């Protein structure tokens, strides 16, 4: 298993439209495992393949408290079951440390295949409904900040740039040889 680098907003590769998975091959299964590991490592609750620069219709989600119940959605189709939209505070591993309210229908039908190629056909609501719509957007090249004002999008870009710089510095510091006091 391996951790995959996550693309950050506004990387243009995040705008790529994902293609359907033709067959759940060994390669796809490895990608799924790596995506789940990457999601846990980044402390996310969902990850779309688009975010790791693999432009396939593939989503992993884990809403469980113990992070031990990952769900896999291959070639998902999501249909809203209610017209009314509700606000929910969203964040995204590709837009680190930016959170804002997005309105979406909070009840949807999900049709997809799981990691074993078994059919999924479920009506879901609440967080899973919000999360799957957020991830579906990724497969279509859409990022949650697209729903926000221009000003907020500019702020999000600035924030991501700052966060990435800080992370780079931290990584560089961690790569330094151990201080003598650590002996």
Residues designated catalytic: 135
Comparison of 92 and 128: residue with beta carbon closer to Ni ion: 92
- Could you say whether residue 35 binds Ni ion (CB under 5 A)? no
Q: What is the dihedral of CA 36, 38, 44, 49, to 10 degrees?
A: -70
Comparison of 146 and 168: residue with beta carbon closer to Ni ion: 146
Interior CA angle at 122 toward 116 and 20, to 5°? 50
**Facing residues of 92 across strands?**
95
# chain residues binding Ni ion, by CB under 5 A: 1
Q: Are 117 and 24 in contact (CB under 8 A)?
A: yes
d(CA 106, CA 128): 9
- Residues 73-92 within binding reach of Ni ion (CB under 5 A): 92
- Could you say whether residue 52 binds Ni ion (CB under 5 A)? no
As measured in angstroms, the least distance from the Cβ of 128 to Ni ion is 15
- Could you say whether residue 102 binds Ni ion (CB under 5 A)? no
Interface residues with Ni ion (CB under 5 A)?
Answer: 92
């Amino acid at each position: 298993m391996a951790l995959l680098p996550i693309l950050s907003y506004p990387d243009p590769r995040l705008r790529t439209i994902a293609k359907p998975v033709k067959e759940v091959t060994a390669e796809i299964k490895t990608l799924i495992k790596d995506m789940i590991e990457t999601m846990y490592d980044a402390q996310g609750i969902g990850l779309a393949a688009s975010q790791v620069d693999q432009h396939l219709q593939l989503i992993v989600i884990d809403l469980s408290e113990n992070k031990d119940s990952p769900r896999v959605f291959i070639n998902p189709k999501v249909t809203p079951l209610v017209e009314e939209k509700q606000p929910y505070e969203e964040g995204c591993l590709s837009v680190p440390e930016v959170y804002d309210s997005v309105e979406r229908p909070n009840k949807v039908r999900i049709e997809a295949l799981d990691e074993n190629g078994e059919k999924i056909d479920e009506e879901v609501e609440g967080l899973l409904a919000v999360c799957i719509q957020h991830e579906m957007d990724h497969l279509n090249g859409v990022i949650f900040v697209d729903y926000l004002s221009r000003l907020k999008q500019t702020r999000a870009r600035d924030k991501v740039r700052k966060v990435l710089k800080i992370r780079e510095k931290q990584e560089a510091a961690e790569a330094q040889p151990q201080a003598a006091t650590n002996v």
